[in-house]
Amino acid sequence: MHDCEQVRHQRTVAVFVHGGAFIRGDKNGPEGLYDNVLYWFARQGFVGVNVEYRLAPESVHPGGADDVAAAIRWAHGNVHRFGGDPDRLLLIGHSAGGTHVASFAFDPGLPHRGAHAAAIVLISARLRADTLPENPNAAGVAAYFGTDPAAYGPCSPVAHGDGSGLPTMIVIAEHENPLLDLYGLEMAHAIAVARRRAPRILTMPGHNHLSIVAHFNTAEERLGRAIIDFLESAGIHPRFGGRVLDFGCGLGRLTNALGRRFDTAVGVDISPTMVDRAQAQAPAGVSFVVNRSDDLSQFDDSSFDFVYSNIVLQHVSNELQRAYLAEFCRVLTPGGLAVIQLPSLRRGLKGTVKRLLPPKLAASMRRYLRPSRLLRRDDYVIHMEMNCLPENDVWRIVEGAGCVVAHCAFSNAAKADFGGNLIFTGRDEAYANAAGGGFVSPVYVIRRPYE
């Protein structure tokens, strides 16, 4: 089992079935290759289940499909103990594991017919049995399916495209093992003919039969993101559970999106007009509140699993920045995360002068030389300033509130021409981009440790 530490809410479950040409392999894979698939899904908020099955020749067709069925039955009956939702089981199979998953889901001669699975993903799967000369794993096919090629057709998943209505995604590599890409397309066509609609199919450029799964839990996330998009298109929204706070929510667009991932989403804004408009179109589980105080006292301690704020704190005073940082930490649950954007300094002459002057004098000169832009909203006025808080101050406040800064990245959110498209960089690039008077804008990932 792979999960995010001490999961307390029901989350989508990823069940992974490894490859190995039917005759070798295990759930971990060489050097943790297959573990990394589940580690990646766990990092996205899933609960991961890594499956082993009996190997040929000790176990022959349909033993692999039977073992997948047994694993799914176990997951359906037990995954709730690990925070998983038994009604949202995503079943993924690679290579021979994909064969077993496809047989489990599609073969009408077997009793399983995809029971308890919500969707399946077949990655570089052998969907037609063959022992042709170009098949590098012909011996494994013969060990599992037998030595009579005449029996291969009815045993092959491509013969049963009409055997299941489960949402199905087929993934093949650009540099695939011989004929597996052809069989993937053949399976997609069989499903499309049966359903009168093509299933989701993806070719992974630059990858081969092994790297298509070996890249999981690295900087490349294309396949993982495509699988999540496939789930959403099938109406299976991966959820993290718990409560989220969107600080500075405006009209609530992000709050509503977060509401699809969490059980409860709360948007906070200073503007009653914004809040009223956001609440008027809020879906179930999403609410909006007005907050004009310098704290979050309307929320209890440890009441949110995730807190998010972007391009908000940079427009309030240093005093309020410090107060809200401490409040974000206070309302986090043990194990909860906050992602907070807050510029740390301005480069160039203006930034240098401000850092060298005493704070009160610097503030007075700024108001005289560069008056803040006034935004009038309802019965209040917002002073649209740009204020920075040094990184050391942020770390000190966070640690003083019983939390830790688990990670610090840098974004373009404080740029004058920021249009909503977030771009993340490293520290050196962030400082280089801010040369000549720009802002260095850290994004802090803050975590409250478990007690």
Examine residue 261 and state whether it is found in any structural domain, yes or no. no
Same domain, 339 and 428: yes
Same domain, 216 and 305: no
pTM of full prediction above 0.85: no
Examine residue 268 and state whether it is found in any structural domain, yes or no. no
Strand partners, 380: 377
Examine residue 250 and state whether it is found in any structural domain, yes or no. no
CB 354 within 8 A of CB 346: yes
Confidence of residue 82 (pLDDT cuts 50, 70, 90): confident
Asked whether residue 339 carries a pLDDT value surpassing 90, the answer given is yes
Spatial neighbors of 108 by CB under 8 A, at least 6 apart, are 160, 163
Same domain, 189 and 311: no
**CB neighbours of residue 52 within 10 Å:** 15
The domain spanning residue 352 has which CATH number? 3.40.50
The reported pLDDT for the residue numbered 436 is 85
Cα pseudo-dihedral 389, 393, 395, 401, rounded to 10: -110
- Average pLDDT, whole number, for the chain? 90
Same domain, 318 and 210: no
Same domain, 191 and 303: no
Which of 214, 233, 252 terminates a domain? The answer is: 233
**What is the average pLDDT across 72-90?**
93
Peptide bond into 283 cis (omega under 30): no
Of the candidates 315, 277, 269, 263, the residue with the CA atom closest to the CA atom of residue 293? 269
Same domain, 119 and 223: yes
Same domain, 301 and 442: yes
Domain extent for 144: 11-233
Work out the percent of the chain whose per-residue pLDDT is above 70.
Answer: 90
Helices (H), 114-252: 138-145, 152-155, 180-195, 211-214, 222-233
Same domain, 199 and 304: no
Same domain, 163 and 310: no
Of the candidates 176, 174, 182, the residue with the CA atom closest to the CA atom of residue 205? 174
The domain spanning residue 123 has which CATH number? 3.40.50.1820
Examine residue 260 and state whether it is found in any structural domain, yes or no. no
User: Minimum mean pLDDT among 207-216, 352-361, 367-376, 427-436: which range?
Assistant: 367-376
**What is the average pLDDT across 226-231?**
96
Which of 194, 217, 233 terminates a domain? The answer is: 233
The reported pLDDT for the residue numbered 367 is 54
What are the angstrom distances between the C-alpha of 66 and each of 25, 47, 134, 144, 226?
18, 23, 29, 13, 28
Total domain count for the chain?
2
Which of 233, 262, 277 terminates a domain? The answer is: 233
Same domain, 207 and 301: no
Count of residues in the chain = 451
Pairwise CA distance, residues 304 & 337, whole Å: 9
The reported pLDDT for the residue numbered 384 is 59
Asked whether residue 116 carries a pLDDT value surpassing 60, the answer given is yes
The reported pLDDT for the residue numbered 127 is 98
CB 121 within 8 A of CB 17: no
Pairwise CA distance, residues 191 & 173, whole Å: 20
Examine residue 61 and state whether it is found in any structural domain, yes or no. yes
Examine residue 106 and state whether it is found in any structural domain, yes or no. yes
Same domain, 213 and 313: no
Confidence of residue 416 (pLDDT cuts 50, 70, 90): confident
Same domain, 302 and 215: no
Examine residue 96 and state whether it is found in any structural domain, yes or no. yes
The reported pLDDT for the residue numbered 374 is 47
Q: Which two tokens stand for residue 313?
A: 């704190």
